Amino acid sequence: MQLLKKKDQSANSGAAPIGFTKQRKFLFFKIKAKPIYQQQNAPKGAATPTTATGEHITRFQFYVAKILERQKDLEISLREQNIKESGFEFVKKMIVNSIIVSAILTVTLFVLLLHFGLNIVYDIIFAAVLFYAFYATFLARFVRYPIDRSKSVGSEVEKDILFAARDLVISMRSGMPLFNAMVAVSSGYGAASREFEKIIDRVQLGMPIEQAIDEVSSKSNSKTFKRLMLQASVSIKAGADIVGALQGVVDEVMQERVIELRRYGQRLNALAMFYMLFGIIFPSMGIAVVAILTTFISLFTVNFTTLIFGLVGIFFLQLIFLNIMRSSRPTFAM
């Protein structure tokens, strides 16, 4: 039995924790945070699962761990954004923030609906649905903020990486070594220059240039920067022509971006047509037709409250179309 207990403890110690307990203080002493492990293969009807330290795992901790499990890149993104919290603590904090923001918005809309004379029963049901919708929306946005921030950094690199790559190729064609050419493009090209600056810092600390290139490119969120640095690293290791390899990548990226711009133009024509129909023509003509029909057919009456709800719906429809157009727009520059 003792051997079985030791095996179970070693298995729990080797498993990845789903979170950590809070760091507590007792007089002048600090009690360190302990890892929380998820019990695996627990039989049905068993007692509440416990951690490796004997503490019970609550449903809230399971809920936080479930959300954390869906966000696979969250831990890496937190480290990239210099956020020192663990993924478990970050998700827990975002849940609390989502509840607070959703409650404030729901209470505000609840009071407004009561002011406009809506039935209190319908108002409560509508407020409950709104609270759940706000909570799900804000939680998804808050939890994914570090991941989206990392992707936005990658898109910022994509804006200037092509200009930096051209400057890099021109400098090397003029006889400048690769390291000196990287020093030349480490300023003046925004986020792309910061990626080259990371390579320079590692080389100046004594790391071989091909190893520094591999390390920085593996952590970068820019596909173009990864392709450029992969070709440079392979050419250095193989002793091939670096300038020709980089120029080939630049030409390929140029062709891909031209094709993507043409696709964006085709998508924009369709989006503009749907925007004119559903964002301008149908709302304006629909309100006028409904106002005329209600004078002949007494299905419902168009009052000030109905117009307010219609205006709010049109406003959200405009935001949806603007968001679609902005998200489909290419983030690079040529």
- DSSP-assigned letters across all residues of 90-131: HHHHHHHHHHHHHHHHHHHHHHHHHHTT--HHHHHHHHHHHH
Query: Quick one: pLDDT at residue 288?
Result: 78
In this model, does residue 132 exceed pLDDT 50? Answer: yes
Share of the chain above pLDDT 70, in %: 79
Confidence at 200, pLDDT banded by 50, 70, 90: very high
Q: Do 158 and 139 share a domain, yes or no?
A: no
Q: Is residue 43 part of a domain?
A: yes
Query: Quick one: pLDDT at residue 8?
Result: 46
Q: Do 163 and 188 share a domain, yes or no?
A: yes
pLDDT per position as a tens digit, 266-317: 888 888 888 888 878 888 787 778 777 777 776 666 677 777 887 888 888 8
Confidence at 3, pLDDT banded by 50, 70, 90: very low
Q: Do 50 and 130 share a domain, yes or no?
A: no
Check: CB of residue 245 under 8 Å from CB of residue 231. yes
In this model, does residue 122 exceed pLDDT 60? Answer: yes
Query: Quick one: pLDDT at residue 28?
Result: 46
Q: Is residue 160 part of a domain?
A: yes
Q: Do 101 and 160 share a domain, yes or no?
A: no
Query: Quick one: pLDDT at residue 20?
Result: 58
Confidence at 41, pLDDT banded by 50, 70, 90: very low
For range 144-150, the mean pLDDT: 77
Query: Quick one: pLDDT at residue 170?
Result: 92
CA 16, 19, 24: angle at the middle one, nearest 5? 130
In this model, does residue 71 exceed pLDDT 80? Answer: no
| Cα 193 to Cα 179: distance, rounded to the nearest angstrom | 13
Query: Quick one: pLDDT at residue 272?
Result: 83
Check: CB of residue 314 under 8 Å from CB of residue 264. no
Between 200 and 314, name the one with better pLDDT: 200
Q: Is residue 180 part of a domain?
A: yes
Query: Quick one: pLDDT at residue 6?
Result: 43
Q: Is residue 263 part of a domain?
A: no
Q: Is residue 68 part of a domain?
A: no
Domain that holds residue 82: 77-143
Q: Is residue 201 part of a domain?
A: yes
Q: Do 139 and 170 share a domain, yes or no?
A: no
Between 55 and 220, name the one with better pLDDT: 220
Weakest mean pLDDT among 177-181, 195-199, 285-289: 285-289
Q: Is residue 229 part of a domain?
A: yes
Q: Do 203 and 226 share a domain, yes or no?
A: yes
Report the number of distinct structural domains present in the chain: 4
Q: Do 51 and 106 share a domain, yes or no?
A: no
Q: From 204, 229, 255, give the residue that closes a domain.
A: 255
End-to-end CA distance of the chain: 69
Query: Quick one: pLDDT at residue 266?
Result: 83
CA contacts within 13 A on the Cβ side of 199: 30
- Prediction pTM value: 0.56
Q: Do 187 and 245 share a domain, yes or no?
A: yes
In total, the chain counts a number of residues equal to 334
Q: Do 284 and 229 share a domain, yes or no?
A: no
Q: Do 191 and 244 share a domain, yes or no?
A: yes
Q: Is residue 89 part of a domain?
A: yes
Confidence at 56, pLDDT banded by 50, 70, 90: low
